[in-house]
Structure 1
Amino acid sequence: MDVAQSMETSSGEAIKCIDMHTTGEPTRIVYSGFPRLEGTLLDQRDQARNEYDHLRKRLMLEPRGHFDMYGAIIIQDTELVRNGTADIGVLFTTNSGYSTMCGHATIALGRFLVDTHDLTVFPKRDGLVWDQASRQITLNIHAPCGLVSVQVPTTADGRKSDPSRQVGFLSSPAYPVAMGLTIPIPKEVRWPELGDRESVTLDISYGGAFYALIPARELGFDQGLGRVDLASMTSAVKRLKPYLSSHAEVVQALRHAEDERLSFLYSVMVVDDTVGSKPPGVEGTETGLCIFADNQIDRSPTGSCVTARMALAHAKGNRPVGQRWAYNSLVSNHFNEGAFTATIYDDKVHVTEFNGNVRPAVIVRVEGSAFYTGAMTFIVEEEDVTGQSGFTMEGVTK
């Protein structure tokens, strides 16, 4: 018995994970060892948060993770899996909690679910259908925001995913909820770059989670995202986001969700449509910096926000059905590799919000690439005070 096995036995608790990244943004896929959850997927999300949040902290934070770690917990049993609509479920984890949708993690998870043939991990794996002509497998993932259809390219024999081709997913319905919203910024909230301005104008759009979309120059960063003082921009958003989350007009906009538990501001996305790496076959490109959860920075272009941005652009008349657009992060611009591409797939769908209103929406196809970085078994020893539930350096210095 090796050391890892002996510690696993002595601790009585081990969680097994596969690590991947999508344009540099990590996804720690939890495939074994997380306690069984009950009820609907949103109920299971509540249970994970209320009863097992110490496990999220162990996996996301130091010493096993870091401030910007991201995770995906495979959920084998949900209401959509039981009725045959979905093949598998997932819960997404951040440095501070549980998100409702994540595009970069969906892209990674699609590859992993095709590559695993362990039915204890993915009971419905053998039921997936391989399309030999396109060398592609489609699977349906139940995310907290709804159903997401994922198309995973495969090798010639259909047994494994093909990392040389992009994974695509069709989003749950996406729609803007506020356009051109001018928000006054009180003195105690303002940041130095804002100067004498007393307000900012932004949009709010839903792509499985709610995003406040604001141009970099609107925040006072006149050089946009071409050259970024990351510390200053993060500091500005850190002041802005809590204020927006409690502002009456923003709170009202966030009520346009299909379930009240989805009704919160997940992120501020700083955007710049004047810069961006441009892959072949797209008609345009732009860049975004996504700051979410507890001031966590997304290295990827943020697939769920790409969905939200496409829905917003379509509503403004700027993105017709079928037009292919590229969305970059600071990382994809640096490497000139890793942009997400997106198209409006369907603009004839409607959603019923939890307040009863019916709203037009779109389905967006988003494409990107994810890669494996490692595999691990995490354990905890009873004597380990530091590693019991995870920490951040910011937290220990407060």
Structure 2
Amino acid sequence: MDIFQSLESTSGEVVKCIDMHTTGEPTRIVYAGFPALTGQTLLSQRDQARDEYDHIRQRIMLEPRGHYDMYGAILRQSTELVESGHAHIGVLFTHNGGFSTMCGHATIALGRFLVDTRDVAVFPKRNELVLDAASQTVAVNLHAPCGLVHVTVPVTRTGDGFKSDPSRQVSFISTPAYAAATNLTIHIPPELRWAELGTRECITLDVSYGGAFYALVNVRELGFQNTGLGKVDLDGMSPVIAKLKEHLETHPDIVAACQHPEDKRLSFLYSVMVVDPDVGIRPEGVDGAETGLCFFADNEIDRSPTGSCVTARMALAYAKGERAIGQRWAYHSVVSNHFQTGSFVGEIVKTGLRVEGENGPGRDAVVVRVEGSAYYTGTSSFVIEEGDVTSHGGFTMKSVTQ
């Protein structure tokens, strides 16, 4: 018996993962070993995972197995939409602070993984995936906490079926997206103001929903006129956004904007997205490009262009009359700009929808398609040895020094 078999045989808690990245943003796909969740709905499973097994989420995401900016996806083989036949599989999205409601970069990675796996214990409905011979793609219906997400995965034929084709982009269509509030004036209390703001007391921003709620603010509105996102001062900007997000999370106008009509569990500000419409390499086949820097969860920074925020940004631009149906737009992160590859492309594919429910006012909505590429980086089997207090629930340097 080698050391790896020995570790797994002596530990009762082996969590198995596939690691991928989308424009440098990690997705740690948990495909085995997470405790059974008994909730009848995916949102109740999310509640149970948060309330009963958050130490395992931390163990997978944080040090010493992960890091502050790790991101994860826990597969859920049974949800209400899987059982009804609308979805092939469900997923819970995780990060340094807890659980999200939607994640575009992870969805792109999951599309490839779910096509490539042949293990029906991991993906019971894998054999129900159907090849579209004309387009050489496979459709995967993914149940995310925000709802049903339709993923299209390019494939190549193999001797016994098909596998994902990394040379072509995965695309997804998320739940209906909408502008929640435009041109909000937010007063910044004196104790929160930062040097770059100068003598100004207020900033203007928008709130939009793309499976999660985003506050979108122009980088120059924050006072970073000199560099924009062409050359980002992360040391200067990160503490600014941390203070701003904390302020926005309890601001009455933001709280009101973030009331999703369908469910209060979707009703929270997930991220502050700093945008720069003047920066961004334009790939072929698009009408324009821009760049964003996404701060989410506990001031975690997204390396990717943030797929769910691409959905939100397209919906916002449509509401402002800046985008038309069928118009393709490239969205960059600072990473994709640096490597000159990896942008996400958004396109509005349907308008005239309405999101309604008992939790808030109805919203006019659109449907957006987002395209991007993901790649495999490795595999992991995580164990916990008896007596290992340090790594039992994971930690960050911030948590042990404050």
Gaps of 5+ in 1: none
Partner of 1:173: 176
Paired with 1:237 and 1:190, the residues of 2 have a C-alpha distance of 11
Instruction: Report SS of the residue matched to 2:162.
Output: coil
1:303 alignment partner in structure 2: 307
1:192 corresponding residue in structure 2: 195
Secondary structure of the 2:345 match is strand
Which residue of the partner structure matches residue 12 of structure 1? 12
Which runs of no fewer than 5 residues in structure 2 stay unpaired?
none
Are the aligned partners of 2:260 and 2:266 in contact in 1 as well (CA < 8 Å)?
A: no
Q: Which deviates the most, 339-348 or 157-166?
A: 157-166
Q: SS where residue 45 of structure 1 aligns?
A: helix
From 217, 220, 234, give the equivalent of 1:217.
220
1:355 shift after superposition: 2.5
Give, as a single letter, the amino acid of the residue that structure 1 aligns with 2:218.
Answer: P
TM normalised by structure 2 equals: 0.98
Q: How much does 1:129 deviate?
A: 0.7
1:216-248 Cα offsets, whole Å, 9 max, x none, are 001110021112101111111011001000011
Residues matched between the structures, number: 398
Q: Does 1:102 align with 2:103?
A: yes
Checking the alignment, whether the CA contact within 8 Å between 2:261 and 2:361 is kept in structure 1 is no
Q: Paired residue for 1:341?
A: 345
Superposition pairs of residues 53-92 of structure 1, within 5 angstroms: 53-92=54-93
Deviation string, structure 1 residues 98-145 (Cα, Å, up to 9, x no partner): 000000000000000000011000000000110111110001000000
Residue 37 of structure 1: aligned partner: 37
Aligned: 1:393 with 2:394: no
Residue of structure 1 in register with 2:295 after alignment: 291
Q: Is 1:116 the equivalent of 2:147?
A: no
How far apart in 1 are the matches of 2:88 and 2:339?
35
Measure how far apart 1:356 and its partner are: 5.4
Q: Is the 8 A contact 1:100 1:143 kept in 2?
A: yes
> Could you tell me which residue of structure 1 aligns to residue 28 of structure 2?
28
Q: Secondary structure at the match of 2:184?
A: strand
Relative to the length of structure 1, the TM-score reads 0.99
Q: Distance in 2 between matches of 1:169 and 1:217?
A: 31
* CA apart distance, 1:396: 1.2
1:159 is paired with a residue whose SS is strand
Corresponding residue SS for 2:368: strand
Once residues 326 and 82 of structure 1 are traced to their aligned partners in structure 2, the CA distance between those partners, rounded to angstroms, is: 36
- Counterpart amino acid of 2:11? S
Deviations 1:30-69 (A, max 9, x none): 0001111122000000000000000000000000000000
Residues 176 and 315 of structure 1 are in contact (CA less than 8 Å); yes or no, is this contact kept in structure 2?
A: yes
Report the residue type matching 1:329 in the other structure. Answer: S
Distance 1:247 1:34 in 2: 36
Matched residue of 1:219: which SS? coil
Answer yes or no: is the 8 Å Cα contact 1:353–1:359 preserved in 2. Answer: no
Paired residue type of 1:164: S
Q: Letter of the 1:388 partner, please give it.
A: H
Measured after TM superposition, the shift of residue 195 of structure 1 is 1.2
Cα deviation for residue 79 of structure 1 reads 0.4
Q: What's the % identity of the aligned pairs?
A: 66
Q: What is the one-letter code of the residue matched to 1:99? A: S
User: Deviation above 2 Å: which 4+ runs of structure 1?
Assistant: 353-358
Match of 2:265 among 252, 261, 267: 261
User: Is the counterpart of residue 203 in structure 1 residue 222 in structure 2?
Assistant: no
Task: Choose which of 252, 277, 281 in structure 1 pairs with 2:256.
Answer: 252
Q: Look up the equivalent residue of 1:100 and give its one-letter code.
A: T
* Letter in structure 1 aligned against 2:395: F
Residues 296-322 of structure 1: per-residue CA shift (max 9 Å, x gap): 000000000000000000011111000
The answer (yes or no) to whether the contact 1:185–1:199 under 8 Å persists in 2 is yes
Aligned ranges 1:325-340 → 2 under 5 Å:
325-340=329-344
Give 1:9 shift: 1.6
State the distance in 1 between where 2:97 and 2:361 align.
Answer: 31
Please say if residues 261 and 362 of structure 2, whose CA atoms lie closer than 8 Å, have aligned partners that are also in contact: no
Root mean square deviation of aligned Cα: 0.9
3-state secondary structure, aligned to 1:154: strand
Residue-by-residue CA offset, 1:172-217 (whole Å, 9 max, x unaligned)? 1100110000000001111111111100000000000000000000
